[in-house]
Structure 1
Amino acid sequence: MQNYLAGAVPYPEQFANLYRQKGYWIGQNLSDFLQQSASQYAENIAIFDAEIEINYQQFNQWVSYCATHLYQHGLRAGDKAVVQMPNCYQFYVVFFALIRLGVLPIMSLPAHRHAELNSFFQQTGAKAYFCADFGAQKFDYRELARKCQAVNPELQHIFVLGDQAEFSSLADLLQQTAILEQAINPSSADQVAFLQLSGGSTGIPKLIPRTHDDYLYSVRESANICQLEQNSRLLMVLPAAHNFSMSSAGALGIFYVGGAVVLGTDPSPETAFHLIRKHQVTDACLVPALVRPWMDKARKDQDDILSTLRCLQVGGARLPDTVATALIQEFNVKLQQVFGMAEGLVNYTRFDMSAEQIIHTQGIKISEDDEILVLDDNDQPVAIGQIGHLLTRGPYTIRGYYQAAEHNARSFTPDGFYRTGDLVRIREDGCIVVEGRSKEQINRGGEKIATEEVEQALVTHPQVRLAALVAMPDEMLGEKSCAFIAWQTQDNEPSAIRRGMQLRQYLKDYGLATYKIPDRIEFIEQFPYTAFGKIDKKVLRKQVEAEAV
């Protein structure tokens, strides 16, 4: 493959040809994708942002204006740019303008700070950075830009939404201008379009090279599976740059069918419920940590708003079965579980599945050519229904991280299967059930504990709001387990020690094996979260490790 991004691993030619022959890859780049929607749905509203409504024709024009201005600033095809912006229409304009210019966006999240940002610049030599002036808790992204620019001389262009200080105004990029033909130079469909970020909870996120062909196949199929239509309105309260928000089916799925994205600045139920009513939202996507507050608010106010949604998607981590049951039975929600990864493979529960399948599984894969292996610790296949390590390859799963040869040697098999790090089991009906992460698997004196299984048992207790199980060091057994619990307090609450004793008895009565019952239970007011909205078990492990010293 000519001119493939240096440092990225291409698809082997025989697989690329197969995916084209089967119609998965259709030779369309992301710039043409948007222009097709702009032509087909010109007057439809594409984005609702605060008091602004933007139709597809205007959206597409702003993208071309922005690409031209960026060209005039000196950006050229093949350059790279870090995009770290809040949920705003300018995010999508900048993303597609960079694509149209042939510049590769690097999809940073608002919660990333200097360690992550500096790593992205050092790995890629990115020449541009896009940000807002301030974020949550008045965090100043301009100061972050200064720190990164001081140690990364390649970073020449900084565009700020809001008060730009000494930098360039991002708003100026959207001003009307004569479009320069030489500014319109998107890469071909078989080339890397942008760099997405891995969603792991440990270390600096790895860079994931996604091609136009592979990503748009996932988007089109996801939109079909999710039954999106022109009248679909998707509430976006998760970070817009998150892969879930982008493509499962996400904003790109909405743009594919001519629907509208409704942007929210925060995921609180107060903000979200207002937007749902104001814009007659049909679909919303959440991570599990946000579902409980929405349910609590609806229950407290006796509000039936959740039942007005055509679909509530939940992904990013496994949704507790008890919460899934409550959504369906108590709140009359049309639930869709999503299990996927920015590296590729995505599974969905389907709307025609049984309630049992929707509650207790994470659905089935997108494509018949999504190859899935479930292997034991010795890389041997496990029996149907048994827990093992998930490996996959397929028409939208990468063959390697960007600039990461050593890591790729560990994360990919010689024949191209990606070791996801997930522990799963495949049921007789083909549905996948997520049982945890292999790095989170606890080895208690030789007995393996899948953290997800224990967490699922814990949250069936009526007073357990959230639960996370992590390993803690032990001289005799190597590792023991510690459960962190967010507890729903009641009147005449017993002591923490007594609550812990009650929980252990509850798990015993539940039928959990003795070695799986947590050795230690800690009650916690607020869980730490990663930038991707997952409980940050790295922080919890550090806490118990520090106390063990």
Structure 2
Amino acid sequence: MTSHTSEGTIAWPADLAAEFRAKGYWEDRPLGAYILDTADRLPEKTAVVDGDLRLTYAELANRMDAAAERLLQLGLKPDDRIMVQLPNGWQFTVLTLACFRAGIIPVMALPAHRQYELSFLTELSEARAIAVPDVIKDFDHQAMAEELAVSIPALEIILVSGTAKPLNVRLEEILAPVKDVSAARARLDATAPSPDSPALFLLSGGTTGLPKLITRTHNDYAYNIKACSIPTGVTEDTVYLGTLPASHNFPLACPGILGILFAGGRTIMLPSPEPRKAFAAIEREGVTLSTAVPAVAQRWIEYQQEAGTSQLATLEVLQVGGSRLPDEIARKVKPVLGATLQQVFGMAEGLINTTRLDDPEDVICTTQGRPVSEADEVRIVDEFGEDLPDGVPGSILTRGPYTPRGYYRAPEANARAFTPDGWYASGDIVERRPDGNLIVQGRDKDMINRGGEKISAEEIESLVYRIEDVTMAAAIAMPDQVLGERLCLYITVKPGREVTLEQIQDLLRRTGVAAFKIPEHLVVVDELPTTKVGKINKKDLRADIAERLAAAGVHAK
């Protein structure tokens, strides 16, 4: 029987699905089963740490199954959707696992989302429930959830972490343990979701438009997790610190929280990557692995350079992804933080690339790695879809056993992003080296076209970071009547310091950069705008420079 959610999902062709099974990529097991495996093997080992709360694997499995039963008792059914808007904490982990067990599909919203995004996502997914915190940083998430329920009749159940109002349900009660969970386990095993059914909805990234829903099945997501765990060296001795929003694919499953729990390691939940708290947690728990976006990695490097702490002695690997890490910052990770850098380039839509821990330093610092699976197919093509040779930047196309074949209920987006034979176009511009490692040159919308000459924004940004006083850099296209576009650079600088356009131009000339790549306009700001994912919001910067040009009486186009 086809589930409601499956009706909006594009399945892999039957022959490919059979091949993925035959080769062992798909194991035909629901995600919850892997957690139970670990709990049976290591019942007394600590699985999740959140402040003073420590859950063993036996306790985690108990809460997972007890919560799965309670969600069903609330009236939710397998294949129903629940919006999950929770900060990093044990509640997020247990609720997500409980959904996997019950066959309820979590929609991974972000704590930063507000009514505009959540209304769209709730209606698109037809969610019947939402899980929110009560208040974070003076924002009342519970009140927002109530407003959503008024405007969206299908949204019937509001779960609140913290203090729940009378008509809402306190999430912690749903996630509470029971004395004997064996009966619940037997019942849930008997009604376990199909491994081919949707396990969760991730949100598409990007800075334009509202997010799209990415359907990940139990089979493909389990393989995603396992394939990512191998190059990261995850074992039951791994201690993972999660500070990025856990609802993102990167900290959730690359290998992330789920990879650690599959392996029997320990995961530490922290709602913020603020260096003082993160470093204290690393020292206290003996953290061996953590994840960061480039801006966080840079903050950690600067903090360690200033404070000179001894708190990072156990940190072995720092994964950095989400956007291209400038080479100059990459080269500081090992000497300053003491950890091996692992660059990660991937997408919630599937393909994950990593550098390997034993790669030469040059590969680690200047590339974004290679696919984690032998089954990942990658093509680099030109604007006409023709394959390009190694060393020539082009658009990346990919497909494989954990790259879905389309977005959920999004035919127009699917027509743009997926080819009829299943190749996914992420919009990333990459260059493949002869050794198979990829270098991310930016986004197709992040290439500046100066009179026909293409400039990679990320290439310029990486060079500008060689100026010590530059703390953040963003290169964007500035509209121009003559050339169509010119290169404009936005930067933030260290307090009390000054960086001029002439200084940057001189650096690039001395570096030997082509003249057409040298920035022609500089804007120094106190802070760069960011997206909800923490990436620099270049859409806002393009709008800002257009306003500045108009105010100056410059008619760009």
Q: Which interval holds the TM-score relative to the shorter structure?
A: over 0.9
Is 1:375 aligned to 2:381, yes or no?
yes
Question: In the alignment, what sits opposite 2:531?
Answer: 530
Q: TM-score, normalised by structure 1?
A: 0.96
Mapped to 1, the partners of 2:30 and 2:349 lie a distance apart of 19
Q: Is the 8 A contact 2:326 2:458 kept in 1?
A: no
Q: Is the 8 A contact 1:133 1:164 kept in 2?
A: yes
SS at match of 1:256: helix
Superposition deviation, residue 120 in structure 1: 0.7
Superposition deviation, residue 438 in structure 1: 0.4
SS at match of 1:231: coil
SS at match of 1:308: coil
Superposition deviation, residue 44 in structure 1: 0.9
Compared CA separation, residues 176 and 384, structure 1 to 2 (3 A): closer
Matching residue's letter, 2:24: G
* Cα shift readout 1:13-71 (whole Å, capped 9, x = no counterpart): 11111111111001111111211111112111110100011001111111111112111
Superposition deviation, residue 488 in structure 1: 2.4
Summarize the alignment of residues 9-408 of structure 1 with structure 2, pairs less than 5 Å apart: 9-135=10-136, 137-166=137-166, 167-176=168-177, 185-408=191-414
Q: Is the 8 A contact 2:107 2:201 kept in 1?
A: yes
SS at match of 2:174: helix
Mapped to 1, the partners of 2:140 and 2:337 lie a distance apart of 40
Matching residue's letter, 2:528: F
Superposition deviation, residue 99 in structure 1: 1.6
Question: In the alignment, what sits opposite 2:6?
Answer: 5
Mapped to 1, the partners of 2:373 and 2:362 lie a distance apart of 23
Q: Is the 8 A contact 1:436 1:450 kept in 2?
A: yes
SS at match of 1:5: helix
Q: Is the 8 A contact 2:47 2:56 kept in 1?
A: yes
Q: Is the 8 A contact 1:49 1:262 kept in 2?
A: yes
Matching residue's letter, 2:371: K
Q: Is the 8 A contact 1:298 1:306 kept in 2?
A: no
Mapped to 2, the partners of 1:183 and 1:347 lie a distance apart of 35
* Cα shift readout 1:349-382 (whole Å, capped 9, x = no counterpart): 1111101110111111011111101011111112
SS at match of 2:49: strand
Matching residue's letter, 1:8: T
Matching residue's letter, 1:129: I
Mapped to 2, the partners of 1:335 and 1:183 lie a distance apart of 41
Q: Alignment partner for residue 485 of structure 1, among 465, 486, 491?
A: 491
Compared CA separation, residues 330 and 99, structure 1 to 2 (3 A): closer
Is 1:509 aligned to 2:515, yes or no?
no
Matching residue's letter, 2:8: G
SS at match of 1:32: helix
Worse-superposed segment, 331-340 or 368-377: 331-340
Gaps of at least 5 residues in structure 2 are: 551-557
Worse-superposed segment, 117-126 or 536-545: 536-545
Superposition deviation, residue 199 in structure 1: 1.7
Compared CA separation, residues 355 and 539, structure 1 to 2 (3 A): same
Superposition deviation, residue 307 in structure 1: 4.8
Mapped to 1, the partners of 2:351 and 2:139 lie a distance apart of 34
Matching residue's letter, 2:158: I
SS at match of 2:430: strand
Q: Is the 8 A contact 1:307 1:334 kept in 2?
A: no
Superposition deviation, residue 481 in structure 1: 2.1
Q: Is the 8 A contact 2:45 2:57 kept in 1?
A: yes
Superposition deviation, residue 329 in structure 1: 3.3
Superposition deviation, residue 480 in structure 1: 2.0
Matching residue's letter, 1:112: H
Mapped to 2, the partners of 1:346 and 1:367 lie a distance apart of 8
Mapped to 2, the partners of 1:219 and 1:357 lie a distance apart of 24
Superposition deviation, residue 240 in structure 1: 1.1
Q: Is the 8 A contact 1:411 1:420 kept in 2?
A: yes
Mapped to 2, the partners of 1:537 and 1:120 lie a distance apart of 23
Q: Is the 8 A contact 2:430 2:442 kept in 1?
A: yes
Matching residue's letter, 1:93: V
Gaps of at least 5 residues in structure 1 are: none
Mapped to 2, the partners of 1:426 and 1:306 lie a distance apart of 34
Mapped to 1, the partners of 2:494 and 2:98 lie a distance apart of 47
Matching residue's letter, 2:141: Y
CA RMSD of aligned residues (A): 1.6
Superposition deviation, residue 456 in structure 1: 1.1
Q: Is the 8 A contact 1:236 1:261 kept in 2?
A: yes
Mapped to 1, the partners of 2:345 and 2:218 lie a distance apart of 22
